[in-house]
Amino acid sequence: MLFLQLPLLAALLPGSVNAEVIHEHTTFRLSQISYYANESWAQTLGSAWLDELQTHRWDSETGTVIFLHTWSKGNFSNEELTDLELLFHPVELQVRLGCELSSSESAKGFMQAALEGSDFLSFQNTTWVPSPEGGKQAQKVCDLLNLYEGIKQIVENLMSKTCPRFLLGILDAGKTYLQRQVRPEAWLSSSSIFGSGRLMLVCHVSGFYPMSIWVMWMRGEQEQLDSKRDDVLPNADGTWYVRVILEVEAEDAVGLSCHVKHSSLGDQDLILNWGHSLSMNLIILAVVVPLILLIVLVLWFKRRWSYRGIP
What CA–CA distance (Å, rounded) separates 109 from 256?
Answer: 46
CA 83 to chain CA centroid, Å, is 36
The per-residue pLDDT for 293 is: 77
The per-residue pLDDT for 296 is: 72
Evaluate if residue 206 carries a pLDDT over 90.
Answer: yes
Sign for the pseudo-dihedral over CA of 30, 16, 36, 68: positive
Evaluate if residue 245 carries a pLDDT over 90.
Answer: yes
Instruction: Name the residue with higher pLDDT: 97 or 221.
Output: 221
Q: Do domains 2-173 and 185-279 have the same CATH topology?
A: no
CA R_g for the chain: 32
pLDDT tens for 252-296 read: 999 999 999 999 999 999 999 997 544 444 445 555 667 777 777
Instruction: Name the residue with higher pLDDT: 238 or 242.
Output: 242
What CA–CA distance (Å, rounded) separates 276 from 280?
Answer: 10
pLDDT tens for 99-150 read: 887 766 667 888 998 887 789 999 998 999 999 999 999 999 999 999 999 9
Average pLDDT taken over every residue of the chain: 80
The per-residue pLDDT for 24 is: 43
What CA–CA distance (Å, rounded) separates 215 from 218?
Answer: 10
The per-residue pLDDT for 280 is: 43
The per-residue pLDDT for 4 is: 56
What CA–CA distance (Å, rounded) separates 172 from 207?
Answer: 24
pLDDT tens for 26-49 read: 356 767 666 666 666 667 777 877
Fill in the DSSP letter of residue 132: G
The per-residue pLDDT for 39 is: 63
2-173 architecture in CATH? 2-Layer Sandwich (3.30)
Sign for the pseudo-dihedral over CA of 31, 35, 36, 42: negative
What strand order describes the sheet that includes 64-67?
28-38, 41-50, 53-59, 64-67
Contacts of residue 130, defined as CB under 8 A and 6 or more positions apart, other chains included, come to 120, 121, 138, 139, 141, 142
The per-residue pLDDT for 216 is: 97
pLDDT tens for 62-107 read: 777 888 888 777 777 878 777 766 665 666 777 888 888 776 666 7
Mean pLDDT of 176-200: 92
Mean pLDDT of 168-189: 91
Neighbouring C-alpha atoms within 13 Å toward the C-beta of 7: 18
Cβ(189)–Cβ(205) under 8 Å? Answer: no
The per-residue pLDDT for 105 is: 62
What CA–CA distance (Å, rounded) separates 116 from 94?
Answer: 8
Please identify, in words, the CATH class of the domain defined by 185-279. Answer: mainly beta
Cβ(184)–Cβ(207) under 8 Å? Answer: yes
Domain ranges across the chain? 2-173, 185-279
The per-residue pLDDT for 18 is: 47
CA 250 to chain CA centroid, Å, is 36
